[in-house]
Amino acid sequence: MSHEANTPAIVSLSAGGIAGAIEAFATYPFEFAKTRVQLRQQKGVPTPKNPFKVVAGVYRSEGLPALYKGCSTLVIGSVGKDGIRFLSFDTIKNQFKDPETGTLSPLRNLAAGMMSGVVASVTAVTPTERVKTALIDDARNEKRYRNMTHCIKTILREDGFLGLYRGFAGTTLKQAGATAFRMGTYNILKDYEKRRDIKQTTATNFANGSVAGIVTTLATQPFDTIKTRCQSARGASTVEAFRSIVADYGVTGFWKGTTMRLGRTVFSGGILFTTYEWAAAILNPLVLPKEERLRG
């Protein structure tokens, strides 16, 4: 997300969407495990902290398809989320730049990230997260949703359009914080490396993205946990979700699923940024000559 300022809007949108889809599919089992752990468990039953154990347990008892329950929803949502997030960040970032120097201060960088996170939450993230979480929760209990389409229709019939926006507050807070921390951390690392003439390669992009993912996870996990409770199959308000987490686990419950999410974000951050740079490198030559001709 620290790509060049002259990247065309269509490239930002397309490359971001491609990167989001690949990242979501590649790391989905970790997302599945994290969501399972955050949903209400039986009293007295210890919650596994090792994501690989959760994944292996679900695979043994429910099979491989269960690990990808709700995956199509997340992949579709990630195409929209990351496409919009890259595009909106570029647009907002350009508005926030110092008119004289053309640079973006760390504070304005964070503000641009937060605003683009809100845009992504409203337009794509909250509805897709709601459906994905409901599918995962339903798979372990009632099993009344046949597929993604049936789940959406059921939610709309029972709760109306706003039913797709359950957990909106938690999701938006998470997205605003996550986008700000992820972009901010990534850009700080990249600026640090540029000042020391460290070459920007796939390896450095992946490493920077992974570190950004870790920082983002630790900082925004409470919002993610609240969001998951809100978006369970039965649904809950933000206040109800907050109270149920405290009642079940105490304050530490807000970091439930952190290990699971770290298992994903260590890879997802690296995959997202490196895939974006790869996709943008392919798409830019196809788009820029046309735009330059139009300007001429």
Tell me the C-alpha distance between 22 and 41, whole Å: 31
- Can you give the CATH number for the domain in which 236 is found? 1.50.40.10
Report the alpha-carbon distance of residue 72 to residue 43 in Å, rounded.
Answer: 32
Question: Is 3 within the bounds of a domain?
Answer: no
| Domain contains 58 | yes
Q: Is residue 278 part of a domain?
A: yes
Number of domains making up the chain: 1
The whole domain housing 123 covers: 9-295
- Among candidate residues 133, 106, 276, the one with its CA nearest the CA of residue 187: 106
What string of pLDDT tens digits covers the 296 residues of the chain? Answer: 444 546 788 998 999 999 999 999 998 888 888 787 777 565 566 666 677 788 888 889 888 888 888 898 889 889 988 999 889 887 887 888 777 766 677 788 788 889 999 999 999 889 998 998 899 888 877 788 988 999 999 999 999 999 999 989 888 988 898 889 888 788 778 878 887 888 889 999 899 999 999 989 988 899 888 888 888 877 788 889 899 999 988 998 898 888 878 878 888 889 998 999 899 889 988 876 654 545 44
Distance set, CA 193 to CA 22, 106, 189, 224 (Å): 27, 16, 6, 31
> Both tokens of residue 75?
């992949």
- Annotate 47-87 with DSSP letters as a single string: PP--HHHHHHHHHHHH-HHHHTTTHHHHHHHHHHHHHHHHH
pTM: 0.72
pLDDT of residue 33: 80
pLDDT at position 235 is 77
Q: Which residues contact 201 (CB under 8 A, 6 or more apart)?
A: none
3-class secondary-structure state, position 123:
helix
What's the CA gap between 199 and 268, in Å, rounded?
A: 22
Residue at 1 is within a domain: no
Token couple for 86: 């890259």
Q: For residue 70, is it within any domain?
A: yes
Residues 108, 47 contacting (CB under 8 angstroms): no
Whether 262 is in a domain gets the answer: yes
Residues 6+ apart with CB under 8 A from 288: 8
DSSP codes, 156-198: HHHH-GGGGGTTHHHHHHHHHHHHHHHHHHHHHHHHHHHHTT-
Helices of type H across the chain: 9-38, 51-62, 64-67, 71-96, 106-120, 126-140, 148-159, 168-195, 202-230, 238-249, 258-295
Is 126 within 8 Å of 164 (Cβ atoms)? yes
Q: Is residue 2 part of a domain?
A: no
Cβ-based neighbours of 153, under 8 Å, separated by 6 or more: none
Q: Contact at 8 Å (CB) between 78 and 24?
A: yes
- Would residue 235 be called left, alpha or beta, if left means φ above 0 and alpha means ψ between -120 and 50 degrees? left
